[in-house]
Structure 1
Amino acid sequence: MPSMDQPETGDMIADLEAAAARLVTAREMVSRRVIGQQKVVDLTLTALLCGGHALLVGAPGLAKTRLVEALGTVMGLDANRVQFTPDLMPSDILGAEVLETGADGARAFKFIQGPVFCQLLMADEINRASPRTQSALLQAMQEKKVTIAGAERPLDRPFHVLATQNPIEQEGTYPLPEAQLDRFLLQIDVDYPDRAAEREILLATTGTEEAEAERVFDAAGLIAAQALIRRMPVGEKVVDAILDLVRAARPGTAEASALVADDVAWGPGPRAAQALMLAVRARALMDGRLAPGIDDVAALAHPILVHRMALSFSARAAGRTLDSVISALVRETLREDIAA
């Protein structure tokens, strides 16, 4: 007699294959507009598939704004952009109640929505705004709602924040607090394109016409893909690898690696493990696989851990970096699993 869960398993496999095919098209569409940044495109799509937010760190002119615009088109999301500046106020993002006088002379408060009421919000140069304004996004990012004048107002679904940060110019900026950094699923480092990619950029963007992206998903389709990600099976070895890596990165604990004892001031919390659990599934799906492996954990270790850890003073003075620490942790904790 066939197992009772076979039809459900068959339906899930079909759903995963269909979603993987749409994602291939989505990646191609975004890459039409963002040339030479395939890893950045894939990581940003990973964040959206997981229902999370992403922090894009890179020098000016590396197509970060173009990427967000292309994603809004391809994923069928209502997108807004806010340029963060030192004089930006929380109400400029969230909205505010204003007193209006009606035709009959009666006065009443009316809520005017801010740009946060969208499905894809680009927070450009987020570290240029004051901590007070940065914190206006905390509740929105975590709870998908905002509280204004004592009233809770739900945000559109899905809701994602893609924030950008310039690592070069730090004068007059306000570093994001650890609590807010932890709410970004991924930190995506945007590097300069290689020579071949930059040549393609020159030819594609300085002519009379540019390639246009077309819609592949819509809001409902993305929500369905996010639900599908959470249904993907994850093997025990992958779960253990995630726990081994995250727990080894916490100095002062029983499971801490010797690598972090002197070099790391504080390590990742449970959100890092949760982010890895979701992100490895999304990466597997975009590769057309039905379940993630240890290699996915290793590949996503840096973008998930780098903004959830801090180097000690002695490590900074010695010239060590979080990149090298995380790479060493991956080799130490996942070496046997990757070799197998």
Structure 2
Amino acid sequence: MTPHESIQLLQKKMNAAIIGQEHIVERLIIGLLANGNLLVEGLPGLAKTRAVRAMADAIDSEFSRIQFTPDLLPSDVTGSENMYEEGGEYKFRFEPGPIFGNIILADEINRAPAKVQAAMLEAMEERQVTVAGKTHEMPELFIVMATQNPIEQEGTYPLPEAQKDRFLMHVNITYPDKASEMEVIALVRGEKSGVETEESEEIVQEVIFAARDEIAKVQSSKTVIQYIVDLVFATRYPEKYDEKLASYIDVGTSPRASLGLDQCSRVYAWLQGRDHTTPEDVRAVVHDVLRHRITPSYEAQSDRVSNDDIIDTILNLVALPA
């Protein structure tokens, strides 16, 4: 079985476990193959946690779930140096925290204080943790999928811009349609009644690394790269395109946005079975990559203009390559 066929099998398994959320499944797989971290946002009960668990269950990996709460300490995440006795001598030994896994679910990350959120930065960006002056490397397969609830903001600690920028994509989960909701009821009823599901082998990590190697060979033409840069620059200099758009953006996106669009569009093209990207691949992932990187103005908030609306306007204003 080729890496592409294995990833298609992974996608099929996840879609069977999370009915009506094909978009979130595809985005989780894009994040996995692009070796980036994801911020998943949606109302309670929309299968955010279940989606991440479904991915971990289908892959031969170590899954860690961290429930973020206001009383959490950085050492509860990263681990700590503990004293122990050996042969009559006292020594210190590092006890790894739950961050040392392959697929990390950071549940309700915005409920933890700033110190804990900062402790995640080094692990997410540098793929290492420093405790008591010693550096500990993360596993080769390492991805953080953080969830947050868009309501009930009382007592939460909104993620700072610097931390949000560390996430490759910000994915929104919406309600399923009626047909999918009926299937969800049947699925959960079957699980509770003990109905056996078809078992299949877990996907080994080497398949993911092989897929990443193939994706690295996906070509992006100069025209596609120029389109990516044009979209990003439209967030920084919106006055060159439209006066109203300029009034809705306070701060544009960083170079991480360009890199993210390049990474995600190549993964998306590979998932479609192509060895090259097109402008449509960029447009397919642009909302998820830019959504959390644009700082809207007070006027945008007062007019109830969302970041998705701003991105839609940019897509209409920036010309598609010929």
TM over 0.5: yes
Matched, 1:270 2:255: yes
Instruction: Say whether 1:184 aligns with 2:170.
Output: no
Tell me: CA distance 1:218–1:57, structure 2 relative to 1, closer, same or farther (3 Å): same
Amino acid at match of 1:271: R
1:228 is displaced (CA, Å) by 2.1
2:131 aligned residue (148, 151, 162): 148
Matches of 1:80 and 1:212, distance apart in 2: 25
Q: State the superposition RMSD in angstroms.
A: 1.7
Q: Which residue of 1 aligns with 2:50?
A: 66
What corresponds to 1:7 in structure 2? none
Distance 1:111 1:182 in 2: 30
- Aligned equivalent of 1:290: 275
Partner Cα distance (1:212, 1:71) in 2: 16
How much identity, in percent, do the aligned residues show? 37
Task: Decide whether the 8 Å contact of 1:157 with 1:219 is kept in 2.
Answer: no
Cα distance in 2, alignment partners of residues 213 and 170 from structure 1: 40
Deviates more, 1:19-28 or 1:196-205: 19-28
* Aligned residue number for residue 11 of structure 2: 27
The answer to whether residue 92 in structure 2 is matched with residue 127 in structure 1 is no
Residue 61 of structure 2 corresponds to 77
- Indicate the SS of the match to 1:174: coil
Retained in 2: the 8 A contact 1:251–1:260? no
| Partner AA of 1:272 in structure 2 | A
Distance in 2 between residues matched to 1:76 and 1:326, nearest whole Å: 37
- Of 162, 185, 190 in structure 1, the residue corresponding to residue 145 of structure 2 is 162
Contact 1:268 1:308 in 2 (8 A): yes
User: Any stretches of 5+ residues in structure 2 without a counterpart?
Assistant: none
Aligned: 1:226 with 2:212: yes
| Partners of 1:178 and 1:319 in 2: CA distance | 20
Aligned residue type for 2:116: T
* Cα pair distance change 1:195/1:113, threshold 3 Å: same
Distance in 1 separating the partners of 2:173 and 2:110? 16
Q: Map of 1:204-283 to 2, 5 A cutoff? A: 204-207=187-190, 208=193, 209=195, 211=197, 214-251=200-237, 258-283=243-268
Provide the C-alpha distance between the structure 2 equivalents of 1:292 and 1:199, rounded to a whole number of angstroms: 37
TM superposition shift of 1:143: 0.7
Deviation at 1:69, TM superposition (A): 1.1
* Change over 3 Å in CA distance of 1:63–1:99 after alignment to 2: same
Alpha-carbon separation, structure 2, partners of 1:166 and 1:213: 33
* Alpha-carbon distance change, 212 to 150 in structure 1, aligned in 2, over 3 angstroms: farther
Q: Which residue of the partner structure matches residue 307 of structure 2? A: 322
Q: Tell me, yes or no, if the aligned pair for 2:3 and 2:210 is still in contact at 8 Å.
A: no
The DSSP-based 3-state class of the residue aligned with 1:157 is coil
- Further displaced range: 65-74 or 151-160: 65-74
**Cα pair 1:249 1:257 within 8 Å, conserved:** no
Secondary structure at the aligned position of 1:262 is classed as: helix
Alignment coverage as a number of residue pairs: 319
Q: Given residue 329 of structure 1, which amino acid in structure 2 is its aligned partner?
A: I
Q: What is the TM-score normalised by the length of structure 1?
A: 0.90
- Matched with 2:32 is 48
Q: Give 1:192-203 correspondences, 5 Å limit.
A: 192-203=175-186
Q: Deviations over 1:287-317 (max 9, x none)?
A: 2222221111111111000100111012211
1:99 has 2:99 as partner: no
Per-residue Cα deviation, 1:100-128 (whole angstroms, up to 9, x for no partner): 122x3211111111001111110000000
TM-score normalized by structure 2? Answer: 0.94
Q: Output the CA distance in 2 between the equivalents of 1:106 and 1:216.
A: 44
Shift of 1:216: 4.9
CA-CA distance at 1:322 after TM superposition: 1.2
Q: CA deviation at 1:91?
A: 0.2
Gaps of 5+ in 1: 1-16
The AA in structure 2 aligned to 1:59 is: L
- The alpha-carbon deviation at position 53 of structure 1 amounts to 0.5
On the 8 A contact 2:40/2:173 being kept in 1, the answer is yes
- Opposite residue 201 of structure 1, the aligned amino acid is V
Q: CA deviation at 1:258?
A: 4.1
